[in-house]
Amino acid sequence: MRAFGPKCAAALIALGLAQGSLQGSLHAESIAPTVASTFETGPFSEAELRHGKVISEAECGALSGAVWVVAGRQQQCIRYYHTARADGRSEAIVYLHDDVVSINGRGEVQPNAGYIKLTPAGQQAISTNWSRNLEFSYLFLGRPGTFGSSGEHGRRRTPEELVVISAALDAIKGRYGYTRLHLVGWAKGGHGAAALLARRDDLGCVVLASALLSVRSWLAEFGRKEDLTGNRNPVDPIAVVGQIVNRPDLRIFVLTDPDDTVISARSQTAYVKRLTAAGLPVRQIFAAAPDPFAHALVREALQVAAACAKGMDDDAIVAKFQNKVPQTPPDADEPPLHRPEILWNGVNISEAECKSIVTALWVRVEGRGYCVRYWMSTAGGKSDEAMVYIHGDIGGIENGKAKLVEGLDRLTAAQLRRDAQRWSRIFRGPYIAVGRVGAFGSSGNHRDRRTLLEVRVIMAALDVLKERYGIKRFHLVGQSGGGHTVAVLTQRRADIGCAVMASSSISVRSRGREQGKTLGPRIYDPIDAVGRMEHQPGRRMIVLSDPGDRIVSFRSQREFVERVKTKGLPIVQITASAGDKNFHALSAQGRHVAMDCAKGMDDAALAARHQAKSGQAPR
């Protein structure tokens, strides 16, 4: 499963949530802003972000940019970073920021690196710059537990979070005399902005950029039923569209990059359609985000809000900012590439069918034709050196039943295309993901994995790719079973530069002995061929391992490394930290290692940058 919430920079963030009528006791008290005049210069606390922050009412009153909120049983101090313009307008643009932590598959919280380097004084300077650039009063509001606000960031996407922030906005409105707010929400902050549409009647322009607007579908895309925070019942903006009251001055814009890999364009478009069906004024703008994830539409969102707040009409705004209309609608049907039955029956594709697929190669190996699917992007630039990624196993037969690896039953070709674009932009060169036999759309039987047949099919595909795209050298990355393929390719080809084997089955018999399994006669073990390997100038082998790996043991991976070293060939093992429950998923780290290797970083520097654990397997 892919990790949630990456993923993008958190230095450009801000928040404002508001609410008109809620059940229960709710009010906010405005603390006199003259008590303190300067913002703190120390960085925001990582510990408070993880565990929550407590501020008393008296302490709140001594802070710059703070309001004391009483909402039901909650009493919170909410910080804000605001710059007003003396232009006579009684309205402001309010920005709602993304989450500032990520959570891995084991539930471990990792604060955003940019956030814990930022200071309140620095955030105020950012707000002042935005006010100047937008020529409008601008407000950045810290969500509970973030940016100096009290509360717990772990309680995000709950009614309690919305109530507190809404009350804070009411207090700020009273403090500065604002009568109308224009709301901008980016990413998970867009969740709050969309939820507030159903709760407030003082919102004018509302801009939702790369936003989490359909929580249930977002979770389903990752195979989850609950938020990574553990919240089983998060507020879902798409479910409360029917509660939004249409008003003459309400204007809604949804900014979407069709290639967004963090929050899918599909889910954003579903929200737009729900608003349209409800008769609400919404326009979707397809815009190109500048980051590799096709996600960071912060600047564009604020500019759209300013244009809207100043009176530019909808058609003019769309014409000005739309620059990436997708050829295929984002919510078009995307059939999954994998069904469990292919693990029994394999995948059959005829030569004619294969040649009708743009991203496919027809090759002949051992007297049989194979259709090899691939996803290639040069979004990051063209070169005669390409990174090639080879995936792990897609599943197997357990207790007589075919079982796919979690998440692969939902994987589509469109997702792989977007993923290739992302990695090409990060790599800044050609990136190719290749499907192994019987997997990721390729023909053949996946039960032929870890055999020479499988390797020969990939070998033939690489030969065609070299000729078709003018590639002279490949940098290979293989995860788990794909690392087995990379190891054998490295032993058999002379056009390999960097070869990264992540959590890989490269000493197959050792792994089999540890698991009490007997290997079939066709299984090929890369460690057996080490004695026949010769030195090749420019070839670098890197084994990336997590010592706690529960799928492919660290010891078996180290055995391969030691065998290669005994042969006198250069190889390095880097111990990294996988974020999944099995301490096995190192595909992203593997690609980053390969990129640095391809750029010429030496082994010592690679280890210094990517080593995250001691090289000792747990007992």
Residue 241, pLDDT above cutoff 90: yes
Residue type, 506: I
The model's pLDDT over 369-378, given as tens digits with 9 standing for 90+, comes to 999 999 999 9
Token pair, residue 471, equals: 């590639």
Strands 385-390 and 431-434: parallel
Q: What one-character-per-residue DSSP string does 291-302 give?
A: STTS---HHHHH
- Indicate the pLDDT class of residue 11, thresholds 50, 70 and 90: very low
Q: What is the mean pLDDT of residues 452-463?
A: 98
Q: Return the pLDDT at 14.
A: 30
Burial of 388 (C-beta count, 10 Å sphere; 0-12/13-18/19+): buried
- Indicate the pLDDT class of residue 137, thresholds 50, 70 and 90: very high
Q: Could you tell me the domains of the chain?
A: 26-321 (3.40.50.1820), 342-365+381-610 (3.40.50.1820)
**Those residues with Cβ within 8 angstroms of residue 146's Cβ, 6 or more apart along the chain or in another chain:** 15, 44, 49, 97, 100, 115, 153
Residue 596, pLDDT above cutoff 50: yes
- Indicate the pLDDT class of residue 27, thresholds 50, 70 and 90: very low
Mean pLDDT score across all residues of the chain? 91
Q: What is the mean pLDDT of residues 39-53?
A: 95
- CA-wise closest residue to 606 among 578, 572, 579, 577: 572
Token pair, residue 128, equals: 């002042």
The model's pLDDT over 59-90, given as tens digits with 9 standing for 90+, comes to 999 999 999 999 888 999 999 999 999 888 99
- Indicate the pLDDT class of residue 618, thresholds 50, 70 and 90: low
- Indicate the pLDDT class of residue 37, thresholds 50, 70 and 90: low
Residue 1, pLDDT above cutoff 70: no
Q: Return the pLDDT at 313.
A: 97
- CA-wise closest residue to 598 among 497, 502, 500: 497
- Indicate the pLDDT class of residue 616, thresholds 50, 70 and 90: low
- CA-wise closest residue to 186 among 14, 7, 439, 353: 14
Q: Return the pLDDT at 35.
A: 35
The model's pLDDT over 138-169, given as tens digits with 9 standing for 90+, comes to 999 999 999 999 999 999 999 999 999 999 99
Residue 28, pLDDT above cutoff 70: no
Residue 32, pLDDT above cutoff 50: no
- Indicate the pLDDT class of residue 617, thresholds 50, 70 and 90: low
Burial of 1 (C-beta count, 10 Å sphere; 0-12/13-18/19+): middle
- CA-wise closest residue to 203 among 30, 17, 15, 67: 17
pLDDT top residue among 570 and 231: 570
Sign of torsion over alpha carbons 501, 505, 506, 507: positive
Q: Return the pLDDT at 13.
A: 32
The model's pLDDT over 483-505, given as tens digits with 9 standing for 90+, comes to 999 999 999 999 999 999 999 99
| Least confidently predicted of 27-36, 39-48, 62-71, 551-560 | 27-36
Q: Return the pLDDT at 415.
A: 92
What DSSP character marks residue 246? P
d(CA 408, CA 419): 14
Cβ proximity of 147 and 44 under 8 Å = yes
pLDDT top residue among 128 and 22: 128
Sign of torsion over alpha carbons 29, 32, 36, 39: positive
**Those residues with Cβ within 8 angstroms of residue 515's Cβ, 6 or more apart along the chain or in another chain:** none
Token pair, residue 592, equals: 């980053």
d(CA 79, CA 186): 19
pLDDT top residue among 37 and 5: 37
Residue 333, pLDDT above cutoff 90: no
Place of tokens 């936003």: 211
| Least confidently predicted of 15-29, 51-65, 75-89, 319-333 | 15-29
Q: What is the mean pLDDT of residues 350-371?
A: 96
The radius of gyration of the chain from alpha carbons, rounded to an integer in Å, stands at: 27
